[in-house]
Amino acid sequence: MGIGLAFIIVLGLILFAYIGTDILGLNSLFAIVIPYAAVVVFVIGFIRRVIKWGKSPVPFRIPTTAGQQFSLPWIKYSKIDNPSTGFGVALRMFFEIFFFRSLFRNTKAEIMNGKLFVGSNKWLWIGALAFHYSFLIILIRHLRFFMLQTPWCISVIDSIDSFWQIGLPMIYMTDIIIGAALLYLLGRRIFNPQVKYISLPSDYFPLFLIIGIIATGVLMRYFAKVDVTAIKELTLGLAYLKPTVPEGIGSLFYIHLFLVSVLFAYFPFSKLMHMGGVFLSPTRNLANNNRMERHVNPWDYPVKHRHYEEYEDEFRDKMKKAGIPVEKE
Amino acid sequence: MYDGWKIILGLAVFVVIVTLPFTMSVGKDYVKPEPKIDTPEIQKMEKKQCIESKQYMRETHIKLLYSWKDYATREGKRVYIASDGKQYNVSLQNTCMKCHSNKEKFCDECHNYVNVKPYCWDCHIEPKVGGLK
């Protein structure tokens, strides 16, 4: 059911953009109002979400680690998987953010001939890495539409991406890789019973949405063909805060732009916030120094306590009478 | 907030990166590309019309040229029949560039604008600056 719902919503969005531009002709709504609104919702929603997370108290270090912690100097400890210093944490975060180290350690358990076997399973890691890096490169490539002079570094990325010079316009490697990665990520939710069982509409929806974005983008570039110069006038107008709606842009582009706007607006309210959340994971970004530093819980009730001397001062006479030994006479 | 300054620093970096396309354009002029068609060949024409309609050429000239390459070099077909029935010689240099002899004012105007670098001139002889040969 979840998958059907997500699919129908994305189809509805596509249809909405098509009807809005092709039939009703509300081009300026889809070209100007919705993209700006989406960016504003994205930035403000993102900041609010992160600040909300930032306000949660983190009084203790939460070591969920995959290595020997630092104890005695002659016991070898795991510097990256169980860091005790800020530098180690920085390394762990680096590997987490750039290489998805947690996914790399993914394992798969299976019962074969009545015995339990646990083995490494790298497919999810490879799929996730391929998807995220392709998406990043595609995003960076798109900056050529938002800057008048495309910086040389973006041109270099562009030419590396189209390195094979297949066809004209030349095929981007990332377009193929992201398509394959998305189909894999969707496929594991459909064909893997365990993953299917825990999948919700909010898991399928971003997948279908991004598949829709990639599909419309690929269609525009390689098959349907659009007036790129007019599109750049539109996108550059958005970036220059002087929005215009040039003539001669088909609804395929508006569908693409609308789906991207939906992705941006949906971002802060969804699981996609793992983009910001990965930086705020307490199990990843805190050094395991519980044995070296005292972390005081701010919620501790201020316990009223009394030293033995005060107690003895108060009851000394009674203690003496009862024959209880006292420290001070 | 625990580690508040780190979180706020991270958010500041995020905002700077996201708004980069907007902030980079502050104080710059918004320029539109204006491909020129004021070459002598085009001025001689009564009806200033390319081999297909203007919108079709704007969108699809890349596909057209790509298929022309295959027609001419692989299939030996040298005649293109346009949608209005007219016949044209399949040749970049003798058909396209005959009228559009101002490469840097016509081709490059949009290609530079959208940052595409077609590899036409890897094989073809690039027309000299100034137009006419």
At how many degrees (to 10) do helices A251-266 and A2-18 cross? 130
By the 10 Å C-beta count (0-12 exposed, 13-18 middle, 19+ buried), A7 is classed as middle
Backbone Cα Rg of chain B: 23
B4 in reach of chain A (CB within 8 A): yes
pTM across the whole model: 0.89
B27 in reach of chain A (CB within 8 A): no
Tell me the C-alpha distance between B73 and B96, whole Å.
16
Per residue in A54-89, is it b (16+ CB within 10 Å) or e — as a string?
Answer: beeeeeebebeeeeebbeeeeeebbbbbbbbeeebb
10-residue averages of pLDDT along chain B (133 residues): 87 94 82 85 85 90 91 91 90 88 88 89 78 46
A143 has pLDDT over 60:
yes
Per the CB < 8 A criterion, the answer to whether B52 and B83 are in contact is yes
Indicate whether this complex's ipTM tops 0.95. Answer: no
Tell me the C-alpha distance between A245 and B56, whole Å.
19
Q: What percent of chain A has pLDDT over 90?
A: 67
The DSSP code for B94 is I
Query: pLDDT for A183-202, tens place per residue?
Result: 999 999 999 998 999 999 99
Going by C-beta distance under 8 Å and a sequence separation of 6 or more, which residues neighbour residue A149?
none
Tell me the C-alpha distance between A168 and B115, whole Å.
15
Query: Which among A165, A168, A236 is the nearest to B66, CB-wise?
Result: A168
- CB–CB of B30 and A57 under 8 A? no
Q: What is the pLDDT of residue A76?
A: 92
Query: pLDDT for A258-295, tens place per residue?
Result: 999 999 999 999 999 999 999 999 888 889 888 888 88
pLDDT band at A52 (very low <50, low <70, confident <90, very high): very high
Domain boundaries of chain A, sorted by first residue: 2-292+304-321
Query: Which among A39, A145, A236 is the nearest to B30, CB-wise?
Result: A236
Query: pLDDT for A79-111, tens place per residue?
Result: 888 898 899 999 999 999 999 998 998 888 888
Tell me the C-alpha distance between A159 and A165, whole Å.
9
Amino acid at A115: K
pLDDT band at A217 (very low <50, low <70, confident <90, very high): very high
Fold of A2-292+304-321: Fumarate Reductase Cytochrome B subunit (1.20.950)
DSSP H helical ranges for chain A: 2-18, 27-28, 34-54, 86-99, 101-104, 123-141, 152-161, 173-191, 193-198, 201-218, 228-239, 251-266, 274-277, 282-285, 308-321
Going by C-beta distance under 8 Å and a sequence separation of 6 or more, which residues neighbour residue A68?
A75, A76, A77, A78, A82
Which of B91, B101, B90 is CA-nearest to residue B133? Answer: B101
B7 in reach of chain A (CB within 8 A): yes
B65 in reach of chain A (CB within 8 A): yes
